[in-house]
Every structure is written in structure tokens, then in C-alpha cells.
Amino acid sequence: MPVITFETSPISKEQKRKVVEGFTKVASESTGIPEGAFYVFIKENESDNVGVGGRLLSDKK
């Protein structure tokens, strides 16, 4: 069970479809593992939950 994890700010369902399709295709082509074997996990991070340089990302905007 190959796993791909992608962390990002919140994205739309259509963007998630494109990410899953694209990552799966490239990973399958690169490894020779069938596309059906891949799991793709998308973790969305709100800017209140990310710190950069000792400050919340939401405070830097």
C-alpha cells in the first residue's frame, strides 16, 4: 500500500481531485506500481494552526 501525503492550506474539492489524480499517475508511472494501489491523503492546515518564525501564519498576513 503506497501512501502519498499532501499538506496544504484549504483547497476546493475540484483541486483535491486534480491533486489525487496527478500524484497517483506520476507515482504509478515512476514506480511501475498500479494506480489502484496508491492511497493519497490530503491534510488541510488552517493558517491559525501553522507557525513560521515563531509567529502564527495567520498573524503574518
Q: The domain that contains 36 carries what CATH number? A: 3.30.429.10
- In the block, which residue shows the cell 492546515? 45
Q: Which structural domain, as residue segments, surrounds residue 9?
A: 3-60
**Number of separate domains in the chain:** 1
Record the pTM.
0.84
Asked if residues 49 and 11 have their Cβ atoms less than 8 Å apart, the reply is no
pLDDT score, position 45: 96
Percent of the chain with pLDDT over 70: 100
What pLDDT, on a 0 to 100 scale, did the predictor assign at position 60?
A: 86
Name, in order, each residue with C-beta under 8 angstroms of 20's C-beta and a sequence gap of 6 or more.
Answer: 40, 42
